A and B are shown apart, each in its own frame.
Chain A
């Protein structure tokens, strides 16, 4: 399997190397298809047309996991691309791979490119920054969870659609009213671990893992079985038993239910905007993610999901100059503002946010700035900077399994979270050993 992948990767590299010999070629592997794939192609084309020294060649390598695996296999075969897109849960894996990746700040410094890290929104770039404050990878597409509301559904159930839903206590009351009014799906969710544990922890400023959520070292241990998380998962479990929270699947399966108008409330990424806008036949609205007023008097910031761009080791200086130019191009306010408005992903620089506001986008599309505000309202703490945990894709799988046990009524919240912590810690120890 490994060999097949590297042969394919090698073939892809050979095939693409034939075009545009005069210019330095920059290989960029990404994980986007459909509309997002088109938008990436558009960015690349704009860059290629705007200058004549470098040609960026963008290649789709499958979904996030497949792209990461393709990058790893290619590196082992010595055929790695210049730029590799890696989803946020792969961050620790990439960071630990010293000798395989070249940190972005270093790429910029070596290439003599202009690079001001303070331009980037810290709650976005912080996820990809070293403890010393150096940017390791460039945030590319970042989103954060919000609460999507089907206003018609609330109205049908006799609830004021403008009712306050900023706390989970209030949401609980509304869920009860919806259930009593005979709504089949009062609430559903996407990405349960990301929203209801990872973000819940950051939002209430409680640790998800020790060692500043793994930022301070690989000897981190999971800590999401404390009172705040147990209370939330316990409440969700009760709602699931009462038919107030409908579990649809581990990924974003619940989105189909919400977009079809079956569910009243939906916790999902802010990047769900494009899909919901195009499909929803009802009046919808974006609200900030609710918090427990019993746990915190006001919420901290939420954390991001999405992917960042990593620069791989072992390329020529000329190529690194091209990489630096391309990354700077992606960070420019115009390109970022367009990306933000087209996709619903967060802008990575504050300039891009300001530009979007001055262009009147937020006024024309109410609610699209909720995610930005939610991310940036407060300076991130050690608990809300992000997560840096090895094997985290698999740990999420474990969390999914344990949460399913709670939704099915097989385990209580404390037992399930204790078990997830214990099983996840075993994986963290393996990772610690592997990256020693």
Chain B
């Protein structure tokens, strides 16, 4: 039998959801609406005049092959950050889950990097890989490898991916560990008694039972890679060399705040809004079907 609390009138429920609606409207719908409105104009930086261009800003952007290339860069970057941060986190979580002694310390230590702000993380990694004074660069030099992310596009991309993924590993680790510990030990023991090896147990029991956590992290990490890695890129490469690390969000910043081209910047925000909507729909429609709750 279905249990459902129902209200008699319309006013009380409306009043109860009003705070939520107000917050959403003021902090989400209003700015998003503003962005859409502004994307239809070319304004001057000081707000002295605005010129209606309709979809001109979008035409301008999409006809720019460097902007189109930025989509590919963003996709590569986001996938790499997500895979690296989740892969390493899962590996560490599995190890921590099997630990008997000292797991508390181990866990605490692993969580620390999460407290480091992206821009600071960027500077830390930049120091290690600085082409002149970096420690890692120096050791690589001893091995005969000439590290130069200032000119080498692949190395630059690798560096920003690692710096972005690093702090994220902690966060993912926490969720994976919690997910692993929520799997009933009896199920795993039963499989072990039946002669299933670790890898078989992982594939047939742990991974499926962990899938809600993995799915959640996948969504959260992709959104992180899309929007919050700005600080890392700004401090390490400023989008270079050439345009190797210019992801979409970085271009929004540089057009808006370096170029003072607010029309183009707003149009890019709208495009991002669109991409994220599609991504979310795809994730919940298709990937969620494979998740076992």
Interface residues of B in 33-58 (CB under 8 A from A): 42-48, 51, 53
Expressed in whole angstroms, the Cα–Cα distance for A422 and B152 within the complex equals 24
Contacts of A93 in B (CB 8 A): 45, 260
Of B16-24, B74-82, B166-174, B234-242, the one touching chain A: B234-242
Nearest CB to that of B48 among chain A residues?
A99
Interface residues on A, range: 35 or more
> Does A401 make an interface contact (CB < 8 A)?
yes
Q: How far is the CB of B148 from chain A (nearest CB, A)?
A: 9
Binding site for B on A (CB under 8 A): 65, 68-69, 72, 75-76, 93, 96-100, 247-250, 253, 256-257, 260, 262, 391, 393-394, 397, 400-402, 404-405, 407-408, 410, 423, 426-427, 430-431, 433-436
Known: A97-B44, A100-B48. A394 touches B259 (CB 8 A): yes
Contacts of B240 in A (CB 8 A): 250, 400-401, 404
Chain A residues with CB under 8 Å of B238's CB are 250, 397
Pick the interface stretch among B84-92, B250-258, B280-288: B250-258
**Structural contact, B258 and A436, CB atoms closer than 8 A:** no
Complex interface: chain A residues within 8 A of B133 (CB): 256
- Any chain A CB within 8 A of the CB of B194? no
Closest A residue by C-beta to B259 = A394
Known: A401-B241, A410-B242, A434-B51. A394 touches B254 (CB 8 A): yes
Q: How far is the CB of B269 from chain A (nearest CB, A)?
A: 11
| Partner-A contacts on B (CB < 8 A) | 42-48, 51, 53, 60, 64, 66, 131-133, 150-153, 238-243, 254-255, 257-261, 263-264
B42 touches A256 (CB 8 A): no
Residues of A within 8 A of B257 (CB): 65, 69
A407 CB contacts on chain B under 8 angstroms: 151
22 A–B contacts from the bound complex (CB under 8 Å): A72-B45, A72-B46, A93-B260, A96-B44, A97-B45, A97-B46, A98-B48, A100-B48, A248-B132, A256-B133, A262-B132, A391-B259, A391-B260, A393-B258, A394-B258, A401-B243, A402-B242, A404-B151, A407-B151, A426-B60, A433-B42, A433-B53
A430 touching B151 in the complex, CB below 8 Å, given contacts A401-B241, A404-B242, A405-B242: no
Q: CB-CB < 8 A to A410: which residues of B?
A: 242
Q: How far is the CB of A214 from chain B (nearest CB, A)?
A: 16
| Inter-subunit contact B45/A404 (CB<8 Å) | no
What are the 4 tightest A-B residue pairs by CB atom distance, in nearest-first order? A394-B259, A100-B46, A404-B241, A76-B47
CB contacts (< 8 Å) of A391 on chain B: these are 259-261
**Which residue of the partner chain, among A249, A426, A427, contacts B150 with CB atoms under 8 Å?**
A249
**Smallest Cβ-Cβ distance to A254: which chain B residue:** B132
Closest to B239 in A: A397
Residues of B within 8 A of A75 (CB): 46-47
Do B150 and A248 touch (CB < 8 A)?
yes
CB distance from A185 to the nearest CB of B (A): 9
The verdict on A427 contacting B259 (CB below 8 Å), with A99-B46, A248-B132, A435-B44 known, is yes
- Contact A434 B241, beta carbon cutoff 8 Å: no
Please, which residue of chain B has its CB at the minimum distance from the CB of A77?
B47
Q: Which residue of B lies closest to A80 (CB)?
A: B46
Task: Compute how far the CA of A391 lies from the CA of B241 in the bound complex, rounded to whole angstroms.
Answer: 20
| With A401-B243, A405-B242: A426-B64 Cβ-Cβ less than 8 Å | yes
